[in-house]
Amino acid sequence: MINETWCDHNNIQELKSFCSPDIEFLTIKCRPHYLPREFSSIIITDVYIPPQADTSTALKEIHRTLCKLETTYPEAAFIVAGDFNKANLRTRLPKFYQHIQCATRAGKILDHCYSNFRDAYKAILRPPFGKSDHDSILLLPAYKQKLKQETPVLRSVQRWSDQSDSMLQDCFEHVDWDMFRIASDNNIDVYADSVSEFISKCIGDVVPIANIKTFPNQKPWIDGSIRAKLKARTTAFNQGKATGNMFEYKQCSYSLRKAIKQAKRQYRDKVESQFNGSDTRGMWQGLQSITDYKKKASPVADHDVLLPDKLNNFFARFEDNTVPPTRPATKTCGLTFTAANVRKTFKCVNPRKAAGPDGIPGRVLRACADQLAGVFTDIFNQSLSQSAVPTCFKRATIVPVPKKAKVTELNDYRPVALTSVIMKCFERLVKDHITSILPDTLDPLQFAYRPNRSTDDAIAITLHTALTHLDKRNTYVRMLFIDYSSAFNTIVPSKLVIKLETLGLDPALCNWVLDFLTGRSQVVRVGNNISTPLILNTGAPQGCVLSPLLYSLFTHDCVAKHASNSIIKFADDTTVVGLITNNDETAYREEVRALGVWCQENNLSLNVSKTKEMIVDFRKQEREHPPIHIEGTVVEKVESFKFLGVHITDKLNWSTHTDSVVKKAQQRLFNLRRLKKFG
């Protein structure tokens, strides 16, 4: 029964009905009087699956029907509700969300309501109707249309053009850069700061600024002409309701539908031409706009003016407020770069990367590489000779991004650091030098940031080590998957440089690394609010080019002490593999204790609650395995674990991983259906 005040009976259409011993369902399409713009219609399916039914057959039938309907109506809102008994629709359609979380009969959730959009309804339990043995459910709409989910965003953007690039090249070509070096009087901070400010001023003088207002439900194929037709239709509707003559409204509606269809067709042709023209970036952006794939995170509301300071203090919680150590003066660093090195690095910069606190975008460095390479070569070499990094290069602006839809605590924000693009180029040059002089004796089981190594190698070595051992009699394997709390942020720079010296790095370059990691200024920006700056002397800043390499070198001495154990590392993902024979776990337990001691000595914090252990034991006689304790806390045992993107189980089979891949593939099929019907 459909309420006429919600939807006129003329706008209701039966799409499918089906009846078998395993499932009964009826599907209708509705076009209510009011519908959020992002939905073309609502497709409702009423389902009954008997208790004795073959749930696999039942779900297969409804899955087939819903997939066809999604292909036909890719922009519709789907609601599937009814008595499912033991069946679970999400096993077949993972992009559908279940909204009933309360028991409806005998303490079990037998009645389900699914939709293809999150947080659609709030379920409230009500008494049964008549003699029904199922409780009734009141579903209160909780969905907010996209236009109201977020406020429109007003952004100021630079309007770049080839003419802008040409004007900046001409400007920088005629600058006497030596005057900045002479005026700085050998002060690297003044030198770098004055050059950066001058470049930033030139950019501001040459590149125009435009203010753009974007709406959360805005599509790239919607232009001013379509918005004008939309307003005309609304005006005609209001006038028609007042006069009773809806002829003009019907004409405006037809004109609007025709314009939208034509705009979509043109946008589709544009995306196809980008594919044919090898513009893969533009093509992927178009496909993502059409399918809503990987939606952008909602911006953080800036109503709380204290939030930036709270977040800044939280992100800097590992700072110990100690004065950075002073190292003895050394000979001048022998490392220097040529203008050709710097020019090549500038020309490889991604021009679309966001600018750092200095306001100099990557596009300028790439377009004006020939003009700017000379002055920055001098700045880089002077920085190395003095073992000092310019202060303006060490500043960072943190933009918090929510990790989840509903933020409840500060830890629900992910810090995204914006640092100087110039400094990133400088770091890349230093990184290449450090990588080229590293000894061959480095830990072979560190698979990150090493040439010709990847996560595939780490996974293969782990499984090969375990399976080879399990071929022997009376053996089993214990795998401990270590989780660190903000591993990069807890590095102690003074301990790092000592390890770098033992690896053979120039002491002067070690002093440069120490200066790079200390005295770093950090602010948090939320909307138009900016926090008070904090000075950090601990950690390797995430988002910097050097940080991953420095972390891997910091942990290079974290190796197994017993031949029966292996410590396999990929960046901060660490796994202890213990090969147990004849139930003797002495070496494995000593290894875990030694790892805990190493972490304490190196200021790394083990997150025991997220550390998991998996035991692989193929012996016929099952045995109870005593748990592992870390810092007095029992480590949770699991039957499967997602290791470097691959689900491995204690049976060492691929069923869990295969199910995960199939589930992801089913999610992608929805995007393909939307592409098929678009335009």
- What angle do the packed helices 493-502 and 547-554 form, to 10 degrees? 70
**659 CB-side CA count, 13 A:** 12
**Tell me, what's the pLDDT at 667?**
76
**Tell me, what's the pLDDT at 30?**
93
First to last CA, the chain: 34
Q: Are strands 413-419 and 475-482 parallel, antiparallel or unpaired?
A: unpaired
β-strand partners of 81 = 46, 113
Are residues 636 and 613 in contact, defined by beta-carbon separation less than 8 angstroms?
A: yes
Residue 456 — very low, low, confident or very high, per pLDDT cuts 50/70/90? very high
Does the pLDDT at position 673 exceed 70? yes
% of the chain surpassing 90 pLDDT: 49
Are residues 65 and 92 in contact, defined by beta-carbon separation less than 8 angstroms?
A: no
- Segment 347-372 shows an average pLDDT of 91
- What angle do the packed helices 655-677 and 280-291 form, to 10 degrees? 90
Condensed to tens digits (0 to 9), the pLDDT of residues 303-315 reads 678 889 999 998 8
- Segment 385-395 shows an average pLDDT of 93
Query: Looking at per-residue confidence, does 45 or 542 come out higher?
Result: 45
- Segment 426-446 shows an average pLDDT of 89
Are residues 525 and 308 in contact, defined by beta-carbon separation less than 8 angstroms?
A: yes
Does the pLDDT at position 327 exceed 60? no
Residue 11 — very low, low, confident or very high, per pLDDT cuts 50/70/90? confident
Does the pLDDT at position 449 exceed 80? no
- Segment 667-671 shows an average pLDDT of 78
Does the pLDDT at position 222 exceed 70? yes
β-strand partners of 24 = 19, 48
- Segment 569-582 shows an average pLDDT of 92
Token pair, residue 343, equals: 């020019």
Q: C-alpha angle 330/332/338, rounded to 5°?
A: 150
Does the pLDDT at position 617 exceed 90? yes
DSSP state letters, 466-506? HHHHHTSTTEEEEEEEE-BSSTGGG--HHHHHHHHHHTT--
**Tell me, what's the pLDDT at 395?**
93
Residue 384 — very low, low, confident or very high, per pLDDT cuts 50/70/90? very high
**Tell me, what's the pLDDT at 590?**
95
- Segment 178-193 shows an average pLDDT of 92
**Tell me, what's the pLDDT at 410?**
85
**Tell me, what's the pLDDT at 325?**
59
**Per mean pLDDT, which range of 156-170, 190-204, 580-594 is the poorest?**
156-170
Query: Looking at per-residue confidence, does 421 or 92 come out higher?
Result: 421
Token pair, residue 502, equals: 């033992």
Residue 299 — very low, low, confident or very high, per pLDDT cuts 50/70/90? low
Residue 157 — very low, low, confident or very high, per pLDDT cuts 50/70/90? confident
φ, ψ dihedrals at 402, nearest 5°? -60, 135
Nearest of 419, 545, 569 to residue 484 by alpha carbon:
569
**Tell me, what's the pLDDT at 363?**
92
Q: Rg for the chain (alpha carbons), in Å?
A: 31
Residue 595 — very low, low, confident or very high, per pLDDT cuts 50/70/90? very high
Condensed to tens digits (0 to 9), the pLDDT of residues 19-74 reads 999 999 999 999 988 888 788 899 999 999 999 999 999 999 999 999 889 888 88
- Segment 420-432 shows an average pLDDT of 94
Residue 550 — very low, low, confident or very high, per pLDDT cuts 50/70/90? very high
**Tell me, what's the pLDDT at 322?**
61
**Per mean pLDDT, which range of 364-378, 393-407, 468-482, 586-600 is the poorest?**
393-407
- Segment 156-163 shows an average pLDDT of 86
Alpha-carbon 571 to chain mean position = 17
Which H or E run includes 432?
helix 421-437
**Tell me, what's the pLDDT at 487?**
85
* Domains defined for the chain, CATH in brackets: 9-143 (3.60.10.10), 153-291 (no CATH), 307-441+513-536 (no CATH)
- Residue 551 neighbours by CB distance under 10 Å: 22
Does the pLDDT at position 323 exceed 60? no
Residues in contact with 287: Cβ distance below 8 Å, sequence separation at least 6, in sequence order = 271, 293, 671, 675
**pTM above 0.85?**
no
> CA-CA distance, 52 to 351, in Å (whole number)?
61
Estimate the share of the chain in helix, then strand, then coil, as percent rounded to the nearest 5: 40, 20, 40
- Segment 179-204 shows an average pLDDT of 93
**Tell me, what's the pLDDT at 671?**
79
Dihedral sign (CA 598, 602, 603, 604) = negative
Give the mean pLDDT of the chain.
Answer: 88
- Segment 248-255 shows an average pLDDT of 89
> CA-CA distance, 476 to 466, in Å (whole number)?
8
Residue 281 — very low, low, confident or very high, per pLDDT cuts 50/70/90? confident
Does the pLDDT at position 150 exceed 80? no
- What angle do the packed helices 369-386 and 339-347 form, to 10 degrees? 120
**Tell me, what's the pLDDT at 427?**
95
